[in-house]
Amino acid sequence: MNEQILIDSLAAACADRLPNRADVLALRPFTLDDVRSRASRFLALVEEATECAHDRANFATRNDRTLVQLANGARAVVYHASGALQFKAAGSPFESPFARVEERAVLTRIVTEAAQRLRLQEWAGDSGSLQFERLFQSKGQGADRNERIAEAVLFRATGAWRHLIGGIPVLGAASVALTLSGNGATEALAVHIRPGVAEKLDSAAIIAPETAARQVAANLASVLGNAKERLPGDVVASQTMRFGYLDLGKRKAQRVLAPVFVAQIVLRHRLETQAYVFAVPATERSYLDLPLFGTEAVVGRARSAGGKHCENGLR
Amino acid sequence: MARFGVEAIRYFSHARAAGVSTAGDLTYTFNRSNGFDSKLRAAGHVRAFYWANTDCWETDIRDVDQGGDDRSWVDDVDLFWLETHGGHEADGRARMLYDTPHSEWRTYSNRWQLGEDWNNEWVMAYSCETVDRNRVTGLWNIFARMHIYCGAWETMWDGITTDECGEDVADNLTDGDTVCQAWHDGVSDWWVDNHPITVCVGNAATWNNGNIRWDLSYLNRDHLWGHGNVDADLAPAQQACILWYWTEG
């Protein structure tokens, strides 16, 4: 593997869109009551879009979220740590497919128009905006015993939008995702935008993308470890890197939005393909904990030679 | 309620040292598999086993007829979650890497026959490329009576932004999604393209001479035990079609 080529490619992927400085932002703290009020606003929007009344909704609080059972089996979920919101309609995901496998441009127009009708832009906040990012399609197909293959059917189209604050994207899961069925009905809606920015904590200089790319390459080297066989020069199948803020996920409380670089790298060699996401700070000082490795397994026991469970039992 | 098993491999140092693979370690494997495990257990489902790293063996999924021990492990649970590096052969067989040769370094799906002991209904594999969308029929043999295989037809991303996928899938299952929905929605963050695909078999009525009755399929009807309908097993002799549903970005 040629590390310098990887570093150059990653750096080039975002070099022309970088500010010299970017704000480090404190996120507005919120209470469970705030989350409930946000949920009410979301449910009113859902009711408007789907005629799914929420006046008799049943709220069930779980550890990290509140599950809201709506009429006819539809449901919404509110995540306590982030305020993220999700709605899923009742009914079968295979009902109401599209009449044909539409062109991407047509589907993009359909989801964009639906987002406008739902005024999803309003969730971006005063200093934010939403930008369309990607279209996903869910399709089905089948074959019989004679390998006769049926035509593919397009069942759902999902539009994904990115939240930007002061023109800087908040990376991570899509900020807003809207899934439509073939009859234009709202099948699912997710709003993963935190409740708001409280204040500017700092204005930090952005490091050169080459510096960040070098850190990403070091992270990659860490996970690759030492192999008996040397990796060939063309092992990196694709690579990209983006600059932005990073949302740490809907189940995590987060106090700060700080500039980061997020790289995606795919490696292909012999029988295994690997796809890694690496996040590294975009500032000299690190404002967010961005560990390369996650947690260890909850079970730490060794398996007995016979393959059965050890006598100390399962935790 | 369901019995489930988990096998998750984060380190591949032994496979690399042995010259079996150059694959790197994964980073957030256990965030996903721990999350899947804890959410299901919190909802009252029973964990039958959770093996990690070199305690995960390819014989656990290999059929007894093929010299494996699936009857004690993967085919002894309703739902099996697996996380490792994956791929597929040219004929459509799924392939997965282990970090210990017990007995082999890799599993190949032509040696799986799941559900034949009437236990396993669903397998979920957070691994790259275990389904070849151009040769899905290469997986047919795994459906001895098993209902749905949940995998990926291209890359599955590992990193700080996909660490909640296990919790998401488990929450979806216990909130009442179908197994198919739970997988597609749970592993999709609608940013990195995780290429989820679900594969099932169906009878002649479902195939309907090529005008597929999706409403009759396991993909449309199966839920986790305790959270909705589960259709009856379909013996190989009754299987007239193989169906697949995928998301592409």
Q: Do A136 and B247 touch (CB under 8 A)?
A: yes
Which of A94, A144, A299 faces B50 most closely, judged by CB atoms? A299
Is residue A246 within 8 Å of A170, Cβ to Cβ?
A: yes
Contact pairs from chain A to chain B, CB under 8 Å: 241
Residue-wise pLDDT for A207-232, tens only, equals 999 999 999 999 999 999 988 888 88
Instruction: Tell me the CB-side half-sphere exposure of residue A20, using CA atoms within 13 A.
Output: 0
Residue A47's pLDDT band (cuts 50, 70, 90): confident
Q: DSSP string of chain A?
A: --HHHHHHHHHHHHGGG--SEEEEEEEPP--HHHHHHHHHHHHHHHHHHH----TT-EEEE-SSEEEEE-GGG-EEEEETTT--EEEE-SS-TTSS--SS---HHHHHHHHHHHHHHTTGGGGG-TTEEEEEEEEEEEEEEEEETT-PBPPPEEEEEEEEEEEEETTEEEESS-SEEEEEETTS-EEEEEE---S-EEEEEEEEEBPPHHHHHHHHHHHHHHHH---SSPPPTT-EEEEEEEEEEE---TTS---EE-EEEEEEEEEEETTEEEEEEEEEESBSS--S---SS-PPPS--PPPPTTSSPPTT---
Q: Do A270 and B157 touch (CB under 8 A)?
A: no
Q: Do B30 and A296 touch (CB under 8 A)?
A: yes
Chain A residues whose beta carbon lies within 8 Å of the beta carbon of residue B52: 297, 299-300
Residue-wise pLDDT for A180-209, tens only, equals 999 999 999 999 999 888 999 999 999 999
Nearest-angstrom CA–CA distance, A173 and A161:
10
Question: Where residue B119 sits, what CATH number does that domain have?
Answer: 3.40.50
Q: What contacts A208, CB < 8 A, 6 or more positions away?
A: A11
Q: Do A297 and B53 touch (CB under 8 A)?
A: yes
Which of B33, B59, B220 faces A94 most closely, judged by CB atoms? B220
Nearest-angstrom CA–CA distance, A114 and A117:
5
Q: Do B57 and A307 touch (CB under 8 A)?
A: yes
What distance in Å separates residue B237's CA from the closest CA in chain A? 11
Is residue A3 within 8 Å of A224, Cβ to Cβ?
A: no
Closest by CA to A176, choosing from A241, A106, A245, A129, is A129
The per-residue pLDDT for A305 is 59
The per-residue pLDDT for A313 is 38
Q: What is the mean pLDDT of residues A143-169?
A: 97
Comparing alpha-carbon positions, the chain B residue that sits nearest to A297 is B30
Q: How many helices (H) and strands (E) does chain B have?
A: 6, 11
Closest by CA to B116, choosing from B56, B74, B57, is B74
Chain B residues whose beta carbon lies within 8 Å of the beta carbon of residue A260: none
Q: Do B191 and A144 touch (CB under 8 A)?
A: no
Residue B58's pLDDT band (cuts 50, 70, 90): very high
**Longest Cα–Cα distance in chain B:** 51
Q: What is the mean pLDDT of residues B32-60?
A: 97
Share the mean pLDDT of chain A: 92
Note whether A296 contacts B: Cβ–Cβ < 8 A: yes
Which of A73, A272, A295 faces B97 most closely, judged by CB atoms? A272
Residue B160 in 3-state DSSP? coil
The per-residue pLDDT for A307 is 60
Nearest-angstrom CA–CA distance, B23 and B13:
9
Q: Do A290 and B178 touch (CB under 8 A)?
A: no
Written as one letter, the residue type at A1 is M
Residue A311's pLDDT band (cuts 50, 70, 90): very low
Is residue B120 within 8 Å of A251, Cβ to Cβ?
A: no
Residue-wise pLDDT for B96-139, tens only, equals 999 999 999 999 999 999 998 779 999 999 999 999 999 999 99
Q: Which of residues 149-168 of A touch B (CB under 8 A)?
A: 150, 153, 155, 158, 160
Which of A83-87, A212-216, A309-313, B90-94 shows the lowest per-residue confidence on average (mean pLDDT)? A309-313
Nearest-angstrom CA–CA distance, A172 and B189:
8
Q: Do B30 and A140 touch (CB under 8 A)?
A: no
Residue A16's pLDDT band (cuts 50, 70, 90): confident
Q: What is the mean pLDDT of residues B80-100?
A: 98
Rounded alpha-carbon distances, angstroms, from residue A291 to A219, A248, A295, B24, B160: 10, 11, 10, 17, 8
What distance in Å separates residue A79's CA from the closest CA in chain B? 12
Residue A314's pLDDT band (cuts 50, 70, 90): very low
The per-residue pLDDT for A53 is 74
Nearest-angstrom CA–CA distance, B159 and B156:
10
Q: What contacts A170, CB < 8 A, 6 or more positions away?
A: A162, A163, A164, A193, A244, A245, A246, A247, A257
Chain A residues whose beta carbon lies within 8 Å of the beta carbon of residue B219: 94, 140
Q: What is the mean pLDDT of residues A35-43?
A: 89
The per-residue pLDDT for A178 is 97
Chain A residues whose beta carbon lies within 8 Å of the beta carbon of residue B177: 88
Chain A residues whose beta carbon lies within 8 Å of the beta carbon of residue B241: 142-145
| A310 pLDDT above the threshold of 60 | no
Q: Which of residues 191-220 of A touch B (CB under 8 A)?
A: 220
Which of A3-17, B43-57, B83-97, B126-140 shows the lowest per-residue confidence on average (mean pLDDT)? A3-17
Q: What contacts B232, CB < 8 A, 6 or more positions away?
A: none
Comparing alpha-carbon positions, the chain A residue that sits nearest to B19 is A228
Q: What contacts A291, CB < 8 A, 6 or more positions away?
A: B160
| A148 pLDDT above the threshold of 70 | yes
Range of the domain at B149: 3-246
Comparing alpha-carbon positions, the chain B residue that sits nearest to A230 is B22
Preceding omega of B103 cis (within 30 degrees of 0): yes
* Helix B179-187 / helix B165-175 crossing angle, nearest 10 deg: 150
What distance in Å separates residue B161's CA from the closest CA in chain A? 6
Is residue B243 within 8 Å of B200, Cβ to Cβ?
A: yes
Which of A196-200, A298-302, B21-25, B74-78 shows the lowest per-residue confidence on average (mean pLDDT)? A298-302
Which of A88, A294, A314 faces B50 most closely, judged by CB atoms? A314
| A149 pLDDT above the threshold of 60 | yes
Q: DSSP string of B111-129?
A: G--BTTTS---EEEEESTT
What b/e string do you get for B188-200 counting C-beta neighbours within 10 Å, with b at 16 or more?
bbbbbbbbbbbbb
pTM: 0.97
First to last CA, chain A: 42
Higher pLDDT, B25 or A51: B25
Rounded alpha-carbon distances, angstroms, from residue B123 to A60, A262, B115, B176, B223: 29, 31, 10, 18, 13
Q: Do A297 and B34 touch (CB under 8 A)?
A: yes
Residue-wise pLDDT for A48-82, tens only, equals 888 777 777 888 988 899 999 998 889 999 999 99
Q: Do B176 and A277 touch (CB under 8 A)?
A: no
Note whether A130 contacts B: Cβ–Cβ < 8 A: no
Q: Which of residues 1-20 of A touch B (CB under 8 A)?
A: none
The backbone torsions φ and ψ at residue B172, rounded to the nearest 5 degrees and listed phi first, read -60, -45
By residue count, chain A amounts to: 315
Q: What contacts B27, CB < 8 A, 6 or more positions away?
A: A223, A276, A292, A293, A294, B10, B158, B159, B160
What distance in Å separates residue B122's CA from the closest CA in chain A? 19
The per-residue pLDDT for A312 is 38
What b/e string do you get for A102-119 counting C-beta neighbours within 10 Å, with b at 16 or more?
beeeebbebbbebbeebe
Beta bridge partners of A162: A131
| Residue B183: alpha-carbon gap to chain centroid | 10
Nearest-angstrom CA–CA distance, A244 and A86:
24
Angle at B48 between CA B46 and CA B51, to 5 degrees: 130
| Number of compact structural domains in chain B | 1
| A315 pLDDT above the threshold of 60 | no
Q: Do A142 and B220 touch (CB under 8 A)?
A: no
